[in-house]
Amino acid sequence: MITAREEKLNYLTADYGVKSWLLTVDHKRIALLYLATITLFFFLGGAFAVLIRLELLTPAGDLVQSQTYNKLFTMHGVIMVFFFLIPAVPAVLGNFLVPLMIGARDLAFPRLNLASWYIFVIGGTLSILAAILGGVDTGWTFYTPYSSTYSNTYVMITAVGIFITGFASILTGLNFIVTIHRMRAPGLTWFRMPLFIWANYAASLIMVLGTPVVAVTILLVGVERAFGLCIFNPNCGGDPVLFQHLFWFYSHPAVYIMILPTMGVISELVAACTRKQIFGYKLVAMASVAIAVLGFLVWGHHLFVSGQSVYAGLVFSFLSYAVGIPSAVKVFNWTATLYKGANTYQTPMLYAFGFIGLFTIGGLTGLMLAATGLDVHVHDTYFVVAHFHYIMVGGAIMGYLGGMHFWWPKMTGRMYPELPAKLSALVIFVGFNLTFFPQFLLGYLGMPRRYHAYPEEFQVLNVMSTAGASVLAFGYALPMFYFVWSLRYGQRVGNNPWGAKGLEWLTSSPPPTHNFDVTPIVTEPAYAYAAEEGAEIVHT
């Protein structure tokens, strides 16, 4: 029996050799390719963060020159945003799980999927090349006219890298939308789909509708820089604020590309760990779509002090408040699901708890920033830095790691060790808060972002932040070790180690190349835990 199970080929053992990986069209292998690539980028971006925090340990600008510091925070932002956070959940967990969760044999366009990874690698390589050659100092936002006219750093190479990478994102989103529309298993109606699928669908809408705009915006900056065209250049009447409009039309929704799929992960974790149907399933599903749609209407809150019309500011402020509604719906519904659930506290759930708490703080401070009156005061201070790190790191990365732990046994067929995993969740949570909560205070006290030196009265909070960053770095390093360790020594698991609902748990761990030996037929809603337990009672 055991040997028979071991002999069964899965997607990892179906073929061997570098070529079989580099030319694979299997969505699961492509997910692992993405995993390896973005992990590399994560630690690269993290290295820049370490240098930033070290410089800020003392008030004087003693570790690096201001010019170097500008490059450090720019490269940190560029790599973390475009090469880690945006692909993190969709391209790794989404790629792996979307076909499995809807009972399909692959994504609709497997070769496009592979192409997207190559495009991503080419774009990433160019950006690293720019860093090696000497870096870029415009900030990840590439504001004109500094980026298009004045900066003497490697703006062009970085811009081309990001332009190219955008298409990887577009192809992933396009692939997901088509797959979710056309390839669901028999019986899997829209309102039976797991919330992870809904969330990825919503994020894919943003990738398809938003990414092209940032691509063309970067293209315009590129031609302005290279050929002297006049689009944003104030010398011929161009408007730098137009650049900000076009840039944030994508880059604000891009935050939802990071957070929406993560919210999908949290929904899965909460359902599995409470053994309950998600409270208000339909509302949570529709909230994902609502966030995607409303998320497109709020970008102007980045321009409150840029010279945008105050009337437009009012509208954008109001709409930014509106996007808080579906976000809050999700938080309330997760907590309502926890109520009287058969709650368990394994690692994924700890990460989910971390997500809910930190995302709430990040979201509420976001509402504060959406108020024009307050934003005028804390704009471009550490308050903003702390706010978006609570969303992107406290939210997106917590959820991503929670998902990685939850589906790790499905991906590899082996369980991670529970004790160090719990430790990592705890260390990350503590380290994160220690790093970023002081930054709220710093910002509120008036410390501006993007400077390498600061007045002495800010030192205590900055030392706390740097201390927290080292705890955080330790927390992030832990999973690297025990995940790799578990590949060889982890306990082997069966199809469904969590006893969770969902089509991905029906197939073997790791799944065979074509996912399912028999196409599953869906007869019940997502997370039908109560139904199953009820049935058991009848049988006994």
Applying CB under 8 A, which residues contact other proteins?
A: 104-110, 170, 174-175, 177-179, 181-183, 208-213, 215-217, 220, 223-224, 227-231, 235-239, 241-242, 245-246, 249, 296-297, 299-300, 303, 308-312, 315-316, 514, 519
Minimum CB separation of residue 139 from other proteins in Å reads: 20
Local structure of residue 306 (DSSP, 8 states): T
| Secondary structure (3-state) at 475 | helix
Local structure of residue 82 (DSSP, 8 states): I
Closer to other proteins by Cβ: residue 95 or 381: 95
Q: How many other CB atoms sit within 10 Å of the CB of residue 81?
A: 21
Minimum CB separation of residue 240 from other proteins in Å reads: 12
Closer to other proteins by Cβ: residue 132 or 230: 230
Closer to other proteins by Cβ: residue 312 or 325: 312
Distance of alpha carbon 243 from alpha carbon 224, whole angstroms: 12
- Residue 286 buriedness (CB in 10 A; 0-12 / 13-18 / 19+): middle
Closer to other proteins by Cβ: residue 249 or 416: 249
Distance of alpha carbon 476 from alpha carbon 496, whole angstroms: 27
Closer to other proteins by Cβ: residue 16 or 227: 227
DSSP string of 347-365, one letter each residue: HHHHHHHHHHHHHHHHHHH
Closer to other proteins by Cβ: residue 315 or 484: 315
Beta strands in 290-380 (DSSP E): none
The C-alpha torsion from 440 through 441 and 445 to 447, rounded to 10°, is -60
Closer to other proteins by Cβ: residue 315 or 453: 315
Distance of alpha carbon 461 from alpha carbon 435, whole angstroms: 9
User: Do 520 and 506 contact (CB within 8 A), yes or no?
Assistant: yes
Minimum CB separation of residue 509 from other proteins in Å reads: 21
Per the listing, tokens 């308050």 go with: 383
| 360: its two tokens | 């709430």
Minimum CB separation of residue 248 from other proteins in Å reads: 10
Distance of alpha carbon 422 from alpha carbon 158, whole angstroms: 38
Closer to other proteins by Cβ: residue 70 or 175: 175
Minimum CB separation of residue 314 from other proteins in Å reads: 9
Minimum CB separation of residue 227 from other proteins in Å reads: 6
| Secondary structure (3-state) at 492 | strand
What residue type is assigned to position 530 of the chain? A
